[in-house]
């Protein structure tokens, strides 16, 4: 009888234990992340990189997996401890190359397409940062950080290694600079540049002696901090390598003048500039399959990082160039070409989504292939597309479709078990009449467990950039579902300056940071309250990062009435100081119409510092101490301002994070701190 009672208790307890739980920060950091998907030469198999979180070790671990394009169970090809990344197929499809650490150096490796024992095919003294195989598979181009003056050395890698191996008795730590960058993103500069080299495979499959392709060019190939192998490419016959690089002689901290170069793949001649006439950004060279045309992306306005990337076609024989799809009012991403050479594929923001597009090369006609959610990556086969896709309720998984984007089929489900036991909020996009009568878009996410009869506190999220957007994607830092899981409704507005609504809309924020965007936020908040009666206007907090953090600081002195609390993460507090402190000076100079000394009035027009006397709302300030984009001094100043005003305020500093919070434990702490702040001031009981 006693045993039956115990069994009964267990039976009744199981449903409670298995009951779905609201999505939270720990769930966010533990999601498996699918990326860098590559289609096999025969089009039958996809390989990809999978990042799994080792929470105890406080880091992610990556490995290479494969899955049939027809679907089925994915298979791991590399051991998780190897931390393999960046998979690329061999030309014959029999093996895979990837990057992983060997003896504390990032090297190139190879493994059979069916798995097995992986072997390092490079034993360089320095890390390989990126790579691309030649069309015939006999050689590889790759990037390594080298001292520029080592370019004239017979062995530039060994030269750089000798310089890095500082003698033990040298105790001096000073760094002397004669120009910028002094530091960039989260790194102090030490004189090294990411340089492009090429090496042939020996008969044993190992890399032979490398040759330097970029010579003594004082620039990074690929660009830093986010450039990759999309910034260089072999010609179809393998005789030439194309790459883009910034012209640093014009002043790197205030220049966006990247150019496209070509260089013989054997390093026998100096690089040749193909876009010298354009003083703005030229990027992502893609030679056509027939070798006659070089496609690339080009901006038109120097020193403006958010200008529209147009798709250009350069006739390599005549030197004539034309814009493909000149009437398409979107900024293209990296390009890929169809097997028949008639179509180019790209992704870009578009009305709150990030779709995949096809562009007919001859006519310029643009077709949207996969519209909803975010296409985070893709590859193009002769008969099918491989698509990495996510949305506000689903992390990235892989899908297949035909070349017109039809018959979309999911072939991986890495987080299915986790998602089954989690509850997320439903979302809805809405539009309203914003500043200057323009149509502006936003969306609302309902809290988990939503009931139409109740009113809910609100997290009003303001995106960064400012030339960016809150879209239908699964974000790993600003994910609305983490707030919905805590009982908050979420409202966000894609104000003037956001991407995906045409270049004029994106341009409109420059020199108007506190103008039309603030009006859009006010009108969007009013429109959301009118449309969604479950939003509790008396229990709302505004929060944002980067430009979103700037706007929170601006709101604190110019629109503080609706808010019970504020959260500013790595936000600009003093626009004038920002004009001197940030590393990418072109950004502040474009956004304010010139330098601080030439146009000081513009920097003061929307400077949050000038309105601290009107601050009244409790504020949480978060700062990454390795953030060189918006330095720690900005966060400290905002905190001191709130403290001096006697406003309830807290400062959360991450000494080991940059502009983003990336480490798993730090991410959970960030979310827990922010959520506790929101609950404290909106009187939401702690769970």
Residues annotated as catalytic (active site), given as ranges: 546, 627, 659
In 3D space, the residue among 388, 445, 444 whose CA is nearest the CA of residue 411 turns out to be 388
Helix axes 547-558 and 516-531, enclosed angle (nearest 10): 80
The token duo for 542 is 């505004």
Integer Cα distance of 27 and 22 in angstroms: 9
| DSSP structure string for 393-428 | TEEEEEEEE-TTS-S-EE---TTHHHHHTEE---EE
Q: Is the peptide bond before 466 cis (omega within 30 degrees of 0)?
A: yes
Contact assessment for residue 576 and residue 588, using Cβ atoms and an 8 Å cutoff? no
Map 250-263 to HEC letters: HCHHHCCCEEEEEE
Integer Cα distance of 294 and 288 in angstroms: 6
Integer Cα distance of 285 and 260 in angstroms: 7
Contact assessment for residue 334 and residue 284, using Cβ atoms and an 8 Å cutoff? yes
Percent helix, strand, coil in the chain, to 5, is 20, 35, 45
Helix (H, G, I), strand (E, B) or coil at 421: coil
In 3D space, the residue among 410, 345, 406, 331 whose CA is nearest the CA of residue 378 turns out to be 345
Integer Cα distance of 379 and 346 in angstroms: 10
Integer Cα distance of 292 and 286 in angstroms: 11
Q: Any alpha helices (H) in 424-545, and if so which ranges?
A: 480-484, 503-507, 516-531
């Amino acid at each position: 009888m006693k045993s039956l009672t115990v069994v009964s208790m267990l039976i009744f307890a199981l449903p409670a234990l298995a009951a779905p739980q609201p999505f939270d920060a720990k769930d966010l950091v533990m999601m498996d992340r699918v990326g860098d998907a590559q289609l096999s030469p025969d089009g039958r198999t996809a390989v990809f990189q999978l990042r799994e979180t080792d929470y105890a070790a406080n880091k992610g671990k990556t490995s290479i997996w494969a899955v049939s394009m027809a679907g089925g169970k994915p298979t791991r090809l590399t051991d998780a401890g190897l931390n393999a990344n960046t998979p690329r197929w061999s030309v014959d499809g029999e093996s895979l190359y990837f990057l992983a650490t060997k003896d504390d150096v990032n090297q190139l490796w190879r493994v059979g397409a069916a798995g097995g024992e992986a072997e390092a095919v490079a034993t360089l003294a320095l890390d390989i940062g990126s790579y691309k195989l030649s069309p015939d598979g006999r050689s590889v181009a790759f990037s390594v950080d080298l001292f520029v003056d080592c370019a004239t050395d017979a062995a530039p890698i060994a030269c750089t290694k000798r310089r890095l191996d500082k003698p033990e008795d040298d105790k001096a730590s000073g760094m002397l600079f004669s120009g910028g960058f002094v530091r960039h993103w989260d790194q102090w500069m030490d004189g090294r540049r990411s340089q492009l080299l090429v090496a042939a495979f020996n008969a044993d499959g190992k890399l032979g002696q490398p040759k330097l392709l970029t010579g003594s060019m004082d620039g990074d190939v690929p660009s830093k901090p986010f450039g990759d192998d999309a910034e260089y490419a072999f010609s179809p016959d393998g005789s030439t390598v194309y790459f883009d690089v910034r012209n640093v002689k014009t002043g790197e901290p205030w220049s966006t003048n990247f150019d496209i170069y070509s260089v013989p793949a054997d390093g026998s001649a100096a690089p040749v500039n193909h876009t010298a006439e354009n003083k703005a950004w030229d990027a992502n060279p893609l030679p056509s399959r027939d070798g006659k045309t070089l496609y690339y992306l080009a901006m038109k306005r120097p020193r403006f990082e958010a200008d529209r990337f147009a798709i250009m076609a350069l006739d390599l024989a005549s030197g004539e160039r034309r814009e493909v799809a000149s009437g398409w009012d979107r900024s293209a991403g990296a390009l890929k070409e169809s097997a028949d050479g008639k179509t180019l594929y790209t992704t870009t923001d578009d009305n709150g989504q990030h779709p995949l597009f096809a562009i007919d090369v001859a006519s310029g006609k643009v077709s949207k292939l996969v519209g909803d959610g975010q296409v985070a990556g893709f590859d193009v086969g002769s008969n099918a597309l491989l698509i990495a896709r996510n949305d506000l309720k689903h992390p990235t998984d892989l899908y297949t479709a035909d070349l017109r984007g039809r018959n979309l089929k999911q072939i991986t489900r890495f987080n299915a078990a986790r998602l089954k036991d989690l509850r997320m909020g439903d979302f809805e996009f809405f539009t309203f009449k914003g500043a200057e009568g323009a149509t502006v878009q936003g969306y609302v996410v309902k809290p988990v467990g939503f009931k139409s009869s109740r009113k809910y506190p609100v997290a009003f999220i303001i995106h960064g950039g400012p030339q960016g957007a809150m879209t239908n994607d699964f974000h790993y830092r600003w994910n609305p579902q983490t707030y919905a899981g805590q009982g908050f409704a979420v409202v966000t507005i894609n104000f003037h300056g956001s991407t995906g609504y045409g270049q004029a809309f994106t341009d409109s924020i420059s020199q108007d940071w506190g103008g039309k965007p603030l009006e859009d936020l006010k009108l969007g908040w009013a429109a959301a309250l009118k449309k969604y009666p479950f939003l509790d206007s008396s229990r709302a907090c505004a929060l944002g990062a980067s430009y979103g953090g700037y706007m929170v600081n601006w709101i604190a002195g110019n629109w503080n009435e609706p808010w019970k609390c504020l959260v500013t993460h790595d936000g600009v507090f003093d626009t004038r100081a920002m004009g001197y402190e940030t590393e990418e000076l072109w950004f502040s100079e474009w956004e304010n119409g010139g330098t601080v000394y030439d146009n000081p009035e513009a920097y003061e027009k929307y400077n949050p510092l000038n309105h601290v006397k009107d601050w009244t709302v409790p504020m949480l300030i978060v700062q990454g101490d390795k953030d060189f984009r918006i330095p720690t001094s900005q966060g400290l100043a905002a905190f001191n301002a709130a403290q001096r005003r006697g406003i309830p305020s807290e400062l959360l500093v991450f000494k080991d994070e940059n502009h983003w919070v990336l480490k798993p434990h730090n991410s959970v702490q960030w979310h827990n701190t922010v959520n506790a702040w929101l609950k404290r001031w909106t009187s939401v009981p702690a769970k």
